[in-house]
């Protein structure tokens, strides 16, 4: 059955409110770890994850950094209006350039209490910066906001640090606090641009990385900026009525070479669904480059259902990655910066990854569909076990390693 025909109600389960982790544990690596392999389930803690990963494995992490994308303004009556920064406005503006803007910038944003915004410009003064916001356009699902600030020499990244709040998930049903500034961020976060954390990585510590190094486990990094679309609920009865969110990925040529060197020799393990979506997208981009070496980078981008239409043209993963590397050399690119809209759902077979490290996801979500694509119907067994054995769920909750 084509994944378009899947009914989202078949991927739901009862998640009691008290099983949602509202705050992180005091120590990152004390979170519980469920291990699913060959149909068997066991459990441990993240501090011992090195014992469940074979020597010489390749772990792929997403080193995106969460920006303080939540800006709280007040109108002339003192009513709070929330502006949530989604992504830079304009086709050609990448995240690095957008965060380095000084004086002014335009972003696509969501607005809370937009009907209360009557004046032309809202102002938010802080001790470090005076920030103003003006609506310049309305799109189908967002507003284009022009931000201006004094002093003008500050970058937008610095402005958000001074004036913004950490955008913790809405299902936590609380305001962010000081703890979230560090804990809703991985210890290896580097490239600013996400409005949600790649939560599978929140459990990893420097101590874990040392233990992985001791057993020759390789760690490599991609960057995929997580958008607010990751929380977008599936409202359609069938998946063909749901539009998958696009996310911006940034992948270096050396990382693709590392992937290719490990294929078929050492296990490739994705830490997080964003890492998985990225490396699986690389396979299909390579396939498209093989089919048509003249494609532009935009034409190589993966659309929502495209991979299911390309299955008749499948080639070995090694060949696909080689074609992608050859295409990059031909186009004089040291890295790929492009969008992916890949939908990984039951019926999809992993091309690159052998296992996934991930948290426990919301009922009826595209993330749960992704887990089901790997575990099959066993996803229910995994989630039933987690519920029965007091695992904590969602972003600040416990996690799992699921082998395909």
The label of the residue with tokens 């233990």 reads: 211
Same domain, 144 and 232: no
Helix (H) or strand (E) holding 104: strand 104-112
Mark which of 165, 192, 222 sits at the end of a domain. Answer: 165
Domains in the chain, number: 2
Residue 131's pLDDT is: 98
Contacts of 127 by beta carbon, 8 Å cutoff, 6+ apart = none
| CA–CA gap between residue 171 and residue 395 (Å, rounded) | 9
**pLDDT score for 91:** 67
Are residues 315 and 230 part of one domain?
yes
Cα–Cα distance for residue pair 103/149, rounded to 1 Å: 6
Q: What is the pLDDT of residue 92?
A: 59
- Residue 378 counted as domain residue: yes
Give 10's strand partners. Answer: none
Does residue 260 lie within any of the structural domains?
yes
**The last residue of a domain, from among 107, 134, 165:** 165
Q: What is the pLDDT of residue 242?
A: 85
Establish if 79 belongs to a structural domain. Answer: yes
Specify whether 77 is located in the same domain as 52.
no
Residues 6+ apart with CB under 8 A from 289: 295, 300, 323, 324, 326, 327
And the tokens for 37? 């392999």
CA–CA gap between residue 352 and residue 307 (Å, rounded):
14
Question: Residues 68, 72, 75, CA angle at the centre, nearest 5°?
Answer: 160
**Whether residue 226 is found in the same domain as residue 128:** no
Residue 82 burial (CB count, 10 A):
15
Please provide the DSSP assignment of 170-188 as one string.
GGG-S---HHHHHHTS-TT
Q: Are 254 and 159 in a shared domain?
A: no
**Within-domain flag for 148:** yes
Last residue of a domain, one of 113, 134, 165: 165
Q: What values do phi and psi take at 123, rounded to 5?
A: -125, 140
The pLDDT assigned to 120 comes to 94
Q: Which domain holds residue 154?
A: 69-165
> Is residue 172 included in any domain, yes or no?
no
Q: Are residues 61 and 84 in the same domain?
A: no
**Residues 29, 82 within the same domain:** no
Cα gap 248→298, rounded to integer Å: 12
Closest C-alpha among 251, 244, 400 to residue 336: 251
Give dist(CA 183, CA 203) in Å, integer. Answer: 10
Q: Does residue 176 belong to any structural domain of this protein?
A: no
- Does 102 lie in the same domain as 235? no
Beta strands in 127-275 (DSSP E): 130-138, 143-150, 191-194, 218-225, 247-252, 268-271
**Per-residue model confidence as pLDDT tens digits over 19-53:** 999 999 999 999 999 999 999 999 999 999 999 99
Q: What is the rounded radius of gyration, in angstroms, for the C-alpha atoms of the chain? A: 21
Of 312, 313, 335, nearest in space to 324 by CA: 335
Q: CA 50, CA 165: separation in Å to the nearest integer? A: 34
120 and 248 belong to one structural domain: no
First to last CA, the chain: 20
Compute how many other C-beta atoms are within 10 angstroms of the C-beta atom of residue 285.
29
User: Any idea what the CATH number is for the domain that residue 322 is in?
Assistant: 3.40.1780.10
CA separation, residue 318 to residues 223, 260, 282, 324 (Å): 22, 6, 11, 10
Integer Cα distance of 329 and 233 in angstroms: 39
pLDDT, residue 227, reads: 78
- Verify that 384 and 308 share a domain, yes or no: yes
Examine the domain organization and report whether 243 and 378 are in the same domain: yes
In a domain, 239, yes or no: yes
Q: Is residue 361 part of a domain?
A: yes
Q: Regarding beta strands 58-62 and 218-225, do their DSSP bridges make them parallel or antiparallel, or are they unpaired? A: parallel
In this structure, the answer to whether residues 229 and 150 fall within a common structural domain is: no
Structure tokens at 24: 């992180």
Ranges of the chain whose pLDDT falls below 70: 91-93, 229-232
Residue 232 is predicted with a pLDDT of 66
pLDDT tens-digit series, residues 170-191: 889 999 999 999 999 999 999 9
């Amino acid at each position: 059955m084509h994944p378009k025909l899947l009914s989202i109600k078949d991927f739901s389960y009862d998640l009691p409110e008290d099983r949602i982790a509202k705050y992180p544990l005091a120590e990152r690596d004390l979170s519980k770890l469920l291990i699913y392999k060959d149909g068997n389930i066991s459990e441990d803690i993240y501090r011992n994850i090195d014992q469940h990963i074979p020597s010489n494995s390749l772990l792929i992490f997403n080193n995106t950094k969460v920006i303080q994308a939540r800006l709280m303004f007040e109108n002339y009556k003192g009513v709070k209006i929330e502006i949530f920064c989604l992504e830079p406005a304009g086709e050609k503006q990448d995240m690095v350039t957008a965060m380095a803007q000084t004086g002014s910038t335009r972003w696509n944003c969501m607005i809370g209490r937009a009907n209360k915004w009557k004046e032309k410009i809202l102002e938010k003064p802080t001790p470090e910066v005076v920030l103003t916001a003006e609506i310049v356009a309305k799109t189908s699902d967002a507003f284009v906001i022009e931000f201006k600030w004094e002093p003008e020499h500050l970058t937008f990244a610095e402005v958000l640090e001074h004036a913004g709040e950490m955008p913790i998930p809405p299902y936590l049903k609380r305001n962010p606090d000081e703890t979230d500034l560090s804990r809703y961020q991985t210890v290896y976060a580097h490239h600013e641009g996400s409005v949600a954390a790649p939560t599978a990585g929140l459990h990893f510590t420097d101590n874990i990385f040392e233990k992985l190094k001791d057993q020759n486990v390789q760690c490599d990094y991609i960057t995929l900026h997580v958008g607010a679309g990751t929380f977008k609920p599936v409202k359609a009865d069938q998946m063909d009525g749901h539009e998958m969110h696009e996310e911006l990925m940034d992948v270096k040529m050396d990382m693709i070479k590392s992937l290719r060197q490990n294929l078929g020799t050492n296990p490739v393990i994705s830490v997080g669904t964003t890492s998985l979506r990225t490396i699986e997208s690389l396979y299909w981009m390579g396939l498209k480059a093989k089919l048509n070496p003249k494609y532009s980078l935009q034409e190589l981008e993966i659309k929502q259902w495209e991979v299911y239409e390309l299955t008749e043209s499948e080639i070995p993963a090694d060949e696909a990655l080689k074609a992608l590397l050859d295409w990059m050399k031909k186009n004089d690119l040291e890295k790929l910066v492009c969008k992916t809209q890949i939908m990984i759902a039951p019926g999809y077979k992993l091309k690159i990854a052998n296992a996934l490290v991930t948290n426990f996801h919301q009922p009826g979500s595209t993330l749960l569909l992704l887990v089901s694509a790997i575990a099959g119907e066993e996803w229910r067994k995994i989630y039933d076990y987690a519920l029965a054995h007091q695992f904590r769920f969602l972003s600040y909750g416990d996690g799992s390693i699921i082998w395909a």
